[in-house]
Amino acid sequence: MTDSNPAGACRPLRLALIAHDGRKDRMIALAREFSPRLRGCTLCATGTTGGRLAAELGLEVERLLSGPLGGDLQIGARLAVGEIDAVVFLRDPMTPQPHEPDINALVRACDVHDVPCATNVSTARLLLEQLLPRD
Ligand SMILES: O=C(CO)COP(=O)(O)O
């Protein structure tokens, strides 16, 4: 999987995957659906999300800090310097989060730097269908 990232460069797509607890099962189901195509990507994730992706799907994923401990900010910092091509961030809109400012900062960073960011499964499917090349 080369030349298909938004930057058009010849390297694997660098994708960040993040899900709140109330959306983690949906993230696993989504990643399972796309898992053959995700295996060619460079994946990073917040801590607990990444742990589940690795344990349940065998995906190779760099685990950053858990979201409430700064993982969203780490991903935001990376995308701000051009190190992440796209984000799937399955937010739970029904549950208040202690790190709401970090969540807003990450979504804002995506908008500031024009990085595609899907915050629900339907949009994530569209994004992944578009960005992940077929086998
Ligand atoms: O809280 C999160 C995103 O805001 C997700 O963090 P975890 O993947 O560590 O649960």
At 49-92, the pLDDT tens digits run: 999 999 999 999 999 999 999 999 999 999 999 999 999 999 99
Q: What percentage of residues in the chain have a pLDDT greater than 70?
A: 92
Residue 9: per-residue pLDDT: 53
Rounded to an integer, what is the distance from CA 34 to the centroid of its chain?
Answer: 13
Distance 18 CA to ligand 1 centre (A): 6
At 104-125, the pLDDT tens digits run: 999 999 999 999 999 999 999 9
The interface predicted TM-score (ipTM) is 0.99
Residue 66 Cβ inside 6 Å of ligand 1? The answer reads yes
What is the model's pTM?
0.93
Residue 48 Cβ inside 6 Å of ligand 1? The answer reads yes
Cα angle value 118/120/2 (rounded, 5°):
35
Residue with the smallest CA separation from ligand 1 atom 4 is 67
Q: How confident is the model at residue 133 (pLDDT cuts 50, 70, 90)?
A: confident
Distance 68 CA to ligand 1 centre (A): 6
At 14-49, the pLDDT tens digits run: 999 999 999 999 999 999 999 999 999 999 999 999
pLDDT at residue 8 tops 60: no
Residue 2 marked ligand-binding:
no
